[in-house]
Structure 1
Amino acid sequence: MKQLKTIYAVATFMGCALFTGCNDDYLQKYPEDSLNEEAFFKTLTDLETYTNGFYGMFGASYDDLFSDNIGHGTGDYTFSQKLKGRIDETKIGSFGWKKDGVWENIHDINFMLVNAHKVEGDENEKKHYIGLARLCRALQYYGLIKNYGSAPWYSAPIATDDEEALYKTQDSRSLVVDSVMADLQYACDYMQEGSSRTRVTRYAALGYMARIALHEGTFRKYHEEISELAGTANSFLEKAVWATDEIMSSGQFEITGKGAAAYRDLFTNPDLSKNKEMILFSDYDKDLNRKNNTSTVLNWQWNLSRSLADSYLKSDGTPITEADRTKTFVDMFTDRDPRMAETIMYPGFINEGDNSTLPTKIVLDYGGLGQIKFLPRTDATYGGWGENITDLPIIRYAEILLINAEAKAELGILTQNDLNATVNLLRSRVEMPEMTINVPIDPALEALYPSVSGALKNVILEIRRERRVELACEGFRYDDTMRWAAGSIYERPFEGVYLPGFGVYDCTGDGVPDVALFKSPNDKMGYTDEELKELSVYYTEDENGAPKQIYLSEGDKGNIRFYSDTDEDANKFIAPKYYYYPLSKDELVLNPNLKQPIGW
């Protein structure tokens, strides 16, 4: 903990030194808006201090917003607006082009890289910090690639009078991605291994290499709009295999624990420092005033989707049947993969962290499938809005195993031994049956991902299922659907729980009704206000017959659906256009040499 306090203190100092100036003494030595490279870049400590300022670029995610893992969200998200045809270059703002200060970050990284040669000291240590900087540059640029398909590549800071550089157009996707991969390879080659799981080590660099290589390899394989790059897809998949093999053969990491509780512990623990599944995690601590907002995952602005729920296998390892799809909330968790009830709020769940003593009711207006993965479970970790102190995984070993399996399957080289060393370790932890190389094709998966083909089609589909359920709510699902060219998924209506009709329901599992759904306040099916006063009551229409928020998919029964997705306002995914975002009109005015991404 002492080391961590030092890191944050130094990072805070660097933020002041680089950007604003923190005190008069400092300003007497250096300009307020810049760093004097001649005076600063002298020692390895200077490099360490400078790179500590990069740690804000590494973050954990605890939701799957924008993806089909969300049944309904109330936020006005850019992606949902795109699906409804409501954005163009005049209505996009800067979005990802300037999101999180990406260009400022690239400038600061390049500033260090062009000055690092001045530092005296051990060359291996110097290369470690250079590797960290190049890793950060790779991450910043690949974020732009995912949103826009390309960007101008800069390997050095731009002088304010360098109009040729300031007003250049985007470089090709190939050039930018090759440059990203070169940065990642340098980081993998020269960063030190180390034992820290909160500092970025070679293992974290390998993890990011694997993540990006898998994304690029599958993107090039499945996206017809860049078919000229399809022949290069395998080189990226092979790099993903190499990076994951390096991690797997190190002996430093393992899948930890047994049972549902072991899986839960990865996302609700206030101290992951001893957990050998962590390659990199974000450390939260009350004494350091380092806190997160994970308490909002349950019923704040979203619920999870029936599509995600239906992805979980039954406890015998088989997919659910049509009969299972019509099970009500209290029955749908029976005999299912234990990870389901550690991700989606189950009947009778009590939010003990919030000092609750009664089961939490489902929220039908959101679909009824609340998220509990990442929810702090004790009052010691649950502090309310922005006050929670559970540690959060950034890269964990489970993801590495899934990348290894998927990349090998896409390459056509996956064996049963590979499955046993990857996917089946994850299934074994939660005591689920193993996946076999001859697993039958699930028609539901085949319909979800129609572009998959080849001799290992069955395994690729099943690995995609495993990735979805193991990594649910960890921020991967949107990127996965984009790289697989599976945008048509988003034209399907988003759904929540199944109800066999209007009426009152016990959704906490105690035998007492707690939720009611009626067509309108004018038709409460004979129930009195007194009988309903303890229930959460919902309507599909108001007293004048106007639609409210939800309706049933089959009229008087079915899955909860949302009027925001009805025919008048249905989602439409226009491929390949919607795999990218447009540049704003303001950006095109500032630099008329920039070009809109494919389709815009």
Structure 2
Amino acid sequence: MKFNRLIYIALVLSGVSVSSCKKDFLQRDPQTSITKPLFFLTTTDLETYTNGFYENLPTPLNDMNSDNIATHNVTVETDQLVRGQISQDTYGGWDYDDWKKLRAINYMLSNLDQVAGTQPEIDHYVGIARFFRAMFYFDKIKKYSNVPWYTTALEDKDPDLYKGQDPRAFVADKVLEDLQFAADHIKASEKNTRITKWAALTLLSRFALHEGTFRKYHSELNLTNDYTRFLNIAVDASSKVMTEGGFIIFGNGSADYASLFNATSLSGNKEIILWKDFDPALNVSHGASLVLNFNFALSRSLADSYLNTDGTPFTDFTKPFAHLFDNRDPRMMATINYPGWAQFGGAALNRINPTMGGYGQIKFYPSRGDLNQGYEKQYNDIPVFRLAEVLLINAEAKAELGTINQLDLDKTVNLLRKRVGMPNMNMGVALDPALVTLYPNATANNLSVLLEIRRERRVELACEGLRYDDLMRWKAGKLIQNSQQGIYVPALGAYDVTGDGVVDIAILASVNDESPIANVPEPVKTALTKYYLKDAGGRDNTFYLSGGNSGFISFTRDREFPRTFIEPKYYYRPIPRQQILLNDKLKQVFGWDQ
């Protein structure tokens, strides 16, 4: 019997149904002989079944799609978007593979009538299922705004199979209901690799902040009259985690900050609310080694966001790379390859890669060789939710509401700054013109505080997969159309980028002209890694300098194929035309039918 029950859960979670198939967005596979009475009989069954949902948890390792990335050599969605390559005829999704995760969740929630166990025990697993349903719909709202809300695993003759979208306002409230149920009923004492009450409250606060700020800044939704409700929910949920969860900001210094992302284990770390365990013994790995100069590099825009150690904004933009990290927020050295950084602490100092801008990401890169065993075989543990984000949610929501005070800053932002030895943020902080330029539509009673919280969020949570959503909810999508840059190069020639006093790379006009390094001693010249603006045939390489023979590293593709971000259209994605042909009740939003 146990073997049959395990077959049952595997089939349901993979999408196999008990009905005939139909080629629609909730298509189901052919009938099987597996029937409901084999499962959902005990709370152990519910635990086994909900364990299958955990594969849906994200493994955030980078900020791809956002302005934190300078350039990349892989296909990313926003790059296609701003270059006009996405339409209702080319965009995928909305098919069975897209919706089967929801069907698996709803199948369990629709089949609880035979479960034996106490109600609190049953509700614990119901809460976990509703947590994952909320996460599913959170992603759908971000993409499509209006989506059909389903609470059952639909069968072929169900009248709702071909219904249209429900309004965003309705679905968002349903997500709130799911997350509130999860927070009220999921146990608080589970291991932090499992969904706990605190994980549910964290997702609730994340969703409420997103929806509240999205409504505030996106007038096209006609929901600006109902954004403060969500921000107050974000404050309440985050406050509960802060005051009742027993979590604390971990460590003292940049090394402890860095260890949150490259450590062997996060077990017992009091900052981590939810984490994913990667272990070679279990053959469970990720691809964190790819973050360093393999597919992408970080942007000058991100690098310039890090404050000086005295708390003032960084403005010395033409500072040589070898000294760029001097007297800067220590989190910068925990995120970007700095002069003197060596892989796994080895003797060979890392040389930056100018063809990708020079700002290589080291956040999440494994700290030891045994954690890096080949292509996509990295085993450092990855945080999914951590207290730092919760603190920043609390601070930002209060700033948007206009209620934030110095005590709030001391309980949130200043705890993060204290960890790395940065000065406190004060309510009287000066308005930084650079932040006003980045976010010209931001509004708050104390605008300078709100903008500094946005800066703090950017640097503290850099590369954790949140920046793109932040730009979308702040209606700052125009930043994605900007051509991002890399390091500053004062002139063609050789440079020390490892901080050892010896030049180690050279940037030259072409392979036919090495005159800028003519005076470099021959042994040093032989050891140089050379990069050229043009190839032997005189053709442009992938990068150039913004001033010709000097300037910031820029990228040829952006110059030849400029980006355009169309508002409000590009804050959403199109439903594929084929799905609308199958169901004419589905409607495109915000111009995607053009």
The structure 1 segments of at least 4 consecutive aligned residues displaced by more than 6 Å after TM superposition are 10-13, 528-531
Distance 1:571 1:240, change over 3 A: same
Other structure's SS at 1:551 match = strand
Partner of 2:70: 71
Whether the 8 Å CA contact 1:20–1:33 is kept in 2: the answer is no
Indicate how the Cα distance of structure 1 residues 418 and 202 shifts in structure 2: closer, same or farther if over 3 A, else same.
same
Q: Output the aligned Cα RMSD.
A: 2.0
CA 18–556 in structure 1, closer or farther in 2 if over 3 Å, else same: closer
Q: In the aligned structure 1, how far is the partner of 2:476 from the partner of 2:544?
A: 26
2:8/2:34 contact within 8 Å kept: no
1:85-120: CA deviations, max 9, x gaps? Answer: 1221222233xx359x44101111111111113212
**Counterpart in the other structure of 1:494:** 484
Q: CA deviation at 1:456?
A: 1.5
Cα pair distance change 1:433/1:160, threshold 3 Å: same
Structural mapping, 1:144-223, within 5 Å: 144-162=140-158, 164-223=159-218
Alpha-carbon distance between aligned partners in 2 of 1:237 and 1:432, rounded to the nearest angstrom: 28
1:449-504 deviation line (CA, Å, top 9, x unaligned) = 00112321111100000000000000000000010000111232210000001111
Determine which of 523, 528, 535 is the counterpart of 1:535: 528
The equivalent residue for 1:52 is 51
Distance 1:18 1:210 in 2: 28
1:565 aligns with 2:558: yes
1:309 to 269, 293, 303: 303
The equivalent of 2:569 in structure 1 is: 577
Task: Return 551-560 or 402-411, whichever deviates more.
Answer: 551-560
Deviation at 1:32, TM superposition (A): 7.5
Tell me the distance in 2 between the aligned counterparts of 1:56 and 1:122: 27
Tell me by how many angstroms 1:19 deviates.
3.9
Q: How does 1:229-240 map to 2 (within 5 A)?
A: 229-240=223-234
2:401–2:444 CA contact under 8 A, matched in 1 = no
**Could you tell me how far apart the structure 1 residues matched to 2:577 and 2:249 are?**
48
> Letter of the aligned partner of 1:562 in structure 2?
F
Q: Does 1:116 align with 2:109?
A: no
Aligned to 1:4: none
Separation in 1 of the partners of 2:95 and 2:259? 36
- Map of 1:371 onto structure 2: 361
Q: Please say if 1:435 is aligned against 2:435.
A: no
Alpha-carbon distance in 1 for matches of 2:417, 2:255: 14
Match of 1:39 in 2: 38
What's the secondary structure of 1:334's corresponding residue?
A: coil
Matched, 1:510 2:500: yes
Deviation at 1:161, TM superposition (A): 2.4
Tell whether the 8 Å contact from 2:12 to 2:104 is kept in structure 1 after alignment.
no
Three-state SS of the structure 1 residue aligned to 2:281 is coil
Q: Partner amino acid for 1:553?
A: S
Q: 1:166 to 1:532 in 2, by over 3 A?
A: farther
The equivalent of 1:413 in structure 2 is 403
The one-letter code sitting in structure 1 at the alignment partner of 2:193 is: T
Distance 1:591 1:532, change over 3 A: farther
1:288 is aligned to 2:278 = no
Partner of 2:83 in structure 1? 84
1:247 maps to 2:241:
yes
Q: CA deviation at 1:561?
A: 0.4
Alignment of 1:325 with 2:317, yes or no, is yes
| SS of match in other structure, 1:280 | strand
Partner residue, 1:224: 219
Q: 1:277-314 CA deviation, whole Å, 9 max, x = no partner?
A: 01100011121112221111111111100000000000
Change (3 A) 1:462 1:182: same
1:425 aligned onto 2:415: yes
**Shift in Å at residue 582 of structure 1?**
1.5
The answer on whether the counterparts of 2:493 and 2:517 sit within 8 Å (CA) in structure 1 is: no
1:92 counterpart SS class: coil
Superposed CA offset, 1:300-339 (max 9, x none): 1111000000000000011012xx1111211110000000
**TM-score normalised by the chain length of structure 2:** 0.93
Kept in 2, the 8 Å contact 1:314–1:337? The answer is yes
| Partners of 1:526 and 1:297 in 2: CA distance | 32
- Whether 2:552 is the aligned partner of 1:553: answer no
CA contact (8 A) 1:74 1:301 kept: yes
Give me the whole-angstrom Cα distance separating, in 1, the residues matched to 2:244 and 2:516: 67
The residue type paired with residue 577 of structure 1 is K
Pair 493,107 (structure 1): closer, same or farther in 2 beyond 3 Å:
same
The 1:571–1:502 alpha-carbon spacing in structure 2 relative to 1, beyond 3 Å, is same
Question: Which residue identity is paired with 2:104?
Answer: D
Q: Is the 8 A contact 1:20 1:32 kept in 2?
A: no
Q: What is the rounded CA distance, in whole Å, between the counterparts of 1:46 and 1:34 in structure 2? A: 19
Deviations 1:241-281 (A, max 9, x none): 11011111115100011011110111111111110001100
1:277 aligns with 2:271: yes
| Counterpart residue number, 1:127 | 123
Matching residue of 2:24: none
Check the 8 A contact 1:102/1:140 in 2, yes or no. no
Larger mean Cα displacement after TM superposition, 481-490 or 581-590: 581-590
Unaligned stretches of 5+ residues in structure 2: 17-29
Q: Which stretch shifts more, 35-44 or 337-346? A: 35-44
Question: Match for 1:543: what amino acid?
Answer: A
Q: Secondary structure at the match of 1:53?
A: helix
Contact between 1:326 and 1:498, CA under 8 Å: does it hold in 2?
A: yes
Q: How many residues align?
A: 572
Residue 475 of structure 2: aligned partner: 485
Which position in structure 2 is the counterpart of 1:386? 376
